[in-house]
């Protein structure tokens, strides 16, 4: 089969590899679509991944069942979660794999076929096309919806989204759909412009005047909620500067830096801070219902490439010149 190999230093290539074999409790998926996520850029730009890739958002058909698999059938259409738990604890029983103490993840989904644990598969309704399904069962809408549920309060009117990569754009689309006033912020012109197309009331390019402009847009008070989707030192600092007293900062962006000071960032202004990672399997039906209710998630997709052209897709994504990018075998 063909698969993408991240060869490191912002390079990739298509290679031939043996199809993986599902072990106990696993299934083999024939990939219909996979999506590029911003979190893959660290591996892509860095050391790469010998023989594979960081792809972790995909949909497809079950073509082989490992021993012990029940509840799935051959040819069944499924979306997959890249995160799965032990399957035995109370959190797993609630579909909250990310809260399982033994949670782990899988990747290598930019390929003609991939293996995933059966309990990570969400059967897809026949009327749900592959493209929206890819976003509804992956990070594209999963993280924004998981975030939206954490800030589901009637008093929230204005939301600033810091960082307009795919997760940030998903937050823009969803929060605008939910009736909030959304202000998008990024350093890349393409994504600043695209956020307006997805429903941002205002979308601005970050510079030294950013906080002054955000204060002007919020009558000097700051936003009710700021969602940091970049995880950079500047975006985190600006998120706390841009939120109102008693407001909420949500972290979607990944960072291992020590960036916060309790007195400055929390205590003196009584700020709420919320961590939000991935989504719960139990939330997939809710996201499918959002699509049925009119949320057009495919508006986030700006580019589609055959798997054979995945290296070019990654190069374009890495320049910030895309929204969500889909690959198809």
Encode pLDDT of 299-327 as tens digits: 999 999 999 999 999 999 999 999 999 99
Q: What is the pLDDT of residue 255?
A: 82
pTM above 0.75, yes or no: yes
Backbone phi, then psi, for 205, in 5-degree steps?
-90, 130
Three-state secondary structure of 46-93: CCCECCCCCCCCEEEEEEEECCCCCCCCCCCEEEECCEECCCCCHHHH
The side-by-side arrangement of strands in the sheet containing 202-205 is 202-205, 181-186, 158-162, 223-228, 243-251, 272-275
Cα–Cα distance measured from residue 39 to residue 162, given in angstroms and rounded to the nearest whole number: 16
Supply the pLDDT for residue 261.
Answer: 86
pLDDT, tens digit, 9 for 90 and up, residues 147-156: 999 999 999 9
Yes or no: domain 142-275 corresponds to CATH 3.40.50.720: yes
Instruction: Name residues whose C-beta falls within 8 Å of residue 260's C-beta, 6 or more positions apart in sequence.
Output: 236, 240, 266, 273
What's residue 325's pLDDT? 98
| Token pair of 233 as six digits | 């030192």
For 169-185, what is the mean pLDDT?
98
pLDDT at 256: 81
Average predicted confidence (pLDDT) for the chain: 96
pLDDT of residue 102: 95
User: For residue 177, which phi and psi values (nearest 5 degrees)?
Assistant: -60, -35
Span 73-94, average pLDDT: 95
Q: Where are the beta strands (DSSP E) in the chain?
A: 2-6, 12-16, 26-35, 58-65, 77-80, 83-84, 104-105, 113-117, 121-123, 158-162, 181-186, 202-205, 223-228, 243-251, 272-275, 301-306, 324-328
Confidence at 259, pLDDT banded by 50, 70, 90:
confident
> Residues of the chain with pLDDT > 90: what percent?
95
Which pLDDT value is given to residue 285? 97
Q: How far apart are CA 76 and CA 118, in angstroms?
A: 12
Mean pLDDT of 204-215: 98
Give the residue-averaged pLDDT of 55-64: 98
Instruction: Choose which CATH entry (3.40.50.150, 3.90.180.10, 3.30.390.30, 3.40.50.12280) describes domain 2-138+279-328.
Output: 3.90.180.10
How far is CA 285 from each of CA 37, 79, 136, 288, rounded to the nearest angstrom?
Answer: 22, 11, 9, 5
* CATH topology agreement for domains 2-138+279-328 and 142-275: no
Query: Residue ranges of the domains in the chain?
Result: 2-138+279-328, 142-275
pLDDT at 108 (0 to 100): 97
- Checking if the pLDDT of 266 tops 90, the result is no
Least confident of 157-171, 196-210, 261-275: 261-275
| pLDDT in the model for residue 93 | 94
Q: Does position 262 have pLDDT exceeding 90, yes or no?
A: no
Per-residue pLDDT at 288: 98
The predicted pLDDT at position 41 comes to: 96
């Amino acid at each position: 089969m063909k698969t993408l190999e991240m060869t490191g230093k912002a390079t990739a290539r298509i290679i031939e590899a043996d199809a993986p074999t599902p072990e106990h409790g696993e299934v083999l998926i024939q990939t219909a679509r996979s999506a590029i996520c911003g979190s893959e850029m660290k591996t892509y730009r860095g050391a790469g991944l010998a023989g594979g890739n960081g792809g972790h958002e995909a949909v497809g058909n079950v073509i082989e069942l490992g021993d012990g698999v029940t509840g799935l059938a051959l040819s069944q259409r499924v979306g997959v979660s890249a995160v799965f738990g032990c399957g035995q604890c109370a959190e797993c029983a609630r579909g909250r794999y990310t809260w399982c103490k033994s949670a782990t993840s899988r990747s290598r989904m930019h390929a003609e076929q991939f293996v995933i644990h059966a309990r990570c598969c969400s059967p897809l309704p026949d009327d749900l096309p592959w493209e929206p399904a890819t976003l509804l069962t992956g990070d594209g809408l999963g993280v924004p919806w998981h975030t939206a549920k954490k800030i589901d309060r009637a008093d929230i009117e204005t939301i600033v989204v810091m960082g307009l990569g795919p997760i940030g754009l998903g937050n823009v689309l969803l929060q605008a759909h939910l009736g909030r006033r959304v202000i998008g912020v990024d350093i890349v012109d393409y994504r600043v412009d695209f956020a307006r197309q997805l429903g941002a009331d205002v979308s601005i390019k970050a510079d030294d005047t950013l906080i002054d402009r955000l204060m002007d847009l919020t009558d000097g008070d700051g936003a009710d909620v700021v969602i940091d989707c970049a995880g950079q030192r500047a975006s985190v600092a600006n998120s706390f500067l841009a939120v109102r007293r008693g407001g909420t900062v949500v972290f979607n962006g990944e960072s291992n830096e020590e960036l916060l000071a309790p007195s400055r960032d929390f205590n003196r202004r009584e700020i709420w801070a919320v961590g939000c990672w991935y989504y719960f399997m139990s939330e997939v039906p809710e996201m499918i219902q959002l699509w049925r209710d009119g949320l057009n998630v495919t508006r986030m997709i700006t580019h589609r490439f055959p798997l054979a052209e995945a290296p070019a897709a990654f190069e374009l994504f890495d320049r910030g010149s895309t929204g969500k990018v889909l690959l198809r075998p």
